[in-house]
A and B are shown apart, each in its own frame.
Chain A
Amino acid sequence: MIKAKPKPMEEIIDNVKGFSKLLIAGCDGCVTVCEAGGLKEAKVLAAALRLYFTQGGKQAQVDETSLTRQCEKEYLAQLSDRIDNYDAVVSLACGCGIQYLAEMYDKKVVFPGVDTCFLGVNEERGLYSERCQACGRCILAETGGICPIARCSKRMLNGPCGGSEGGKCEVNKDIPCGWELIYERLKTLGQLERFETPTVPKDWTTSRDGGPRKIVREDLRI
């Protein structure tokens, strides 16, 4: 899932301090799971901003809501009858949701309330780590289900590199070496012979090298 973290309050305040009618729009999708941008977080931010405005002696209206997903027009349309009541919107969705909201309501000022970080997993509550870089061509079948693109700091395809020591990455001793993980996993699976064949150069045309990407599924389109 997409992982995000709340933006610093100072930054949000700096963005919205000139407005007096604000809507805090949460998203019930990925950002709710990592507790950065769901209805609860929208309520907390709205309450904090109300306190900020009131203590400064400014009359301001700060309301909160949450949409099922901000990355879909059908759900964003639920704001159409009331978005004009507000001067600006603080979206707590991921970068996709914030942009889609801004795109759909193009005359409305939209601010981000979270920093979108990566595609990751919940290791435990409050601990999320990266697992995928959405490169567009999955090679997990060859690497024992562990991605060297996301888990190796150098994105090496024929690792480990000389900086791997005691199973840790030279970038940071808290980072497990991705290729050490792959080696151990392939050993467990009895597939170490895969190391005998060098991996062919990866086709990066499916990654960001070709600019913004698109998936077109004619079988699904109406």
Chain B
Amino acid sequence: MRLQYPPNVRIIEVPCSGKVDILHLLLAFEQGADGVIVVGCMEGDCHYLAGNLFAKKRVQRVKEILDQVGLGGERVGMYNLSSGMGPRFAEIIREMTQKIMELGPSPIRIAKGTAVRAAGEVAA
């Protein structure tokens, strides 16, 4: 299909979205990720029965944590796709990239000095 999507995305493959832990997501933010999405199989189609449902709950928990610590829960998300939905995958990556661009760099990167605030942006 040779679909195009923004090249600033790092894809980490896991055997099942149920393998993704709260700590993996928090570590990504600690290391300076501006946003993270978990892409699992369609609900009801998990080969391990409930892996994607576990992932959904963990992503929700991380959203709450990010809101509580001041990073903003909108920087993390969960999507459910099948392996035949390549165009939708590319679309999601474009949407998420756009959303993160609007949010600006992660406050963690700003604090570490690896990113600068956009013009006019005021420190929280």
A: residues with CB less than 8 A from B are 9-10, 13, 40, 43-44, 47-52, 54-57
Give the B interface residue count (CB, 8 A): 20
The yes or no answer to B15 lying at the interface (CB within 8 A) is no
Which of the 9-residue segments B41-49, B66-74, B88-96 touches chain A?
B66-74
Q: Which of B30, B68, B69, B111 counts the most A-chain CB atoms under 10 A from its CB?
A: B69
- Contact of A55 with B70 in the complex, beta carbons under 8 Å: yes
Q: Is the CB of A51 within 8 A of B22?
A: no
CB distance from A113 to the nearest CB of B (A): 14
Given contacts A9-B65, A9-B68, A10-B68, contact A51 B23 (CB under 8 A): no
Q: Which residues of B contact A10 (CB under 8 A)?
A: 68
The CA-CA distance from A40 to B29 in the complex, in Å, is: 17
Given known A-B contacts A9-B65, A47-B30, A57-B111, A52 and B23 have beta carbons under 8 A apart: no
Q: How far is the CA of A43 from the CA of B22 in the complex (A)?
A: 10
Query: Which residues on B sit within 8 Å (CB–CB) of A56?
Result: 70, 111
A43 to B64, CA, bound (A): 16
Q: How far is the CA of A47 from the CA of B70 in the complex (A)?
A: 13
Q: Cβ of B27 < 8 Å from any Cβ of A?
A: yes
B67 nearest in chain A by CB position: A9
Rounded to whole angstroms, the CA-CA distance of A48 and B27 in the bound complex is 9
Contact between B71 and A51, CB atoms less than 8 A apart? yes
Give the docked Cα–Cα distance between A43 and B30 (Å). 13
B23-A55 in contact (CB<8A): no
Given contacts A44-B26, A47-B23, A51-B26, contact A9 B69 (CB under 8 A): yes
CA distance A107 to B26 in the complex (A): 32
Q: Which are the 5 A-B pairs with shortest beta-carbon distances?
A: A55-B107, A52-B69, A47-B26, A9-B68, A51-B69
Whether, in the assembled complex, B108 has its beta carbon less than 8 Å from a beta carbon of chain A, the answer is: yes
**CB <8 Å contact, B68 and A55:** no
> Is residue B112 contacting chain A, with contact meaning CB distance below 8 A?
yes
Rounded to whole angstroms, the CA-CA distance of A51 and B67 in the bound complex is 11
A-facing residues in B50-72 (Cβ within 8 Å): 64-66, 68-71
Docked CA distance A164–B65 (Å): 41
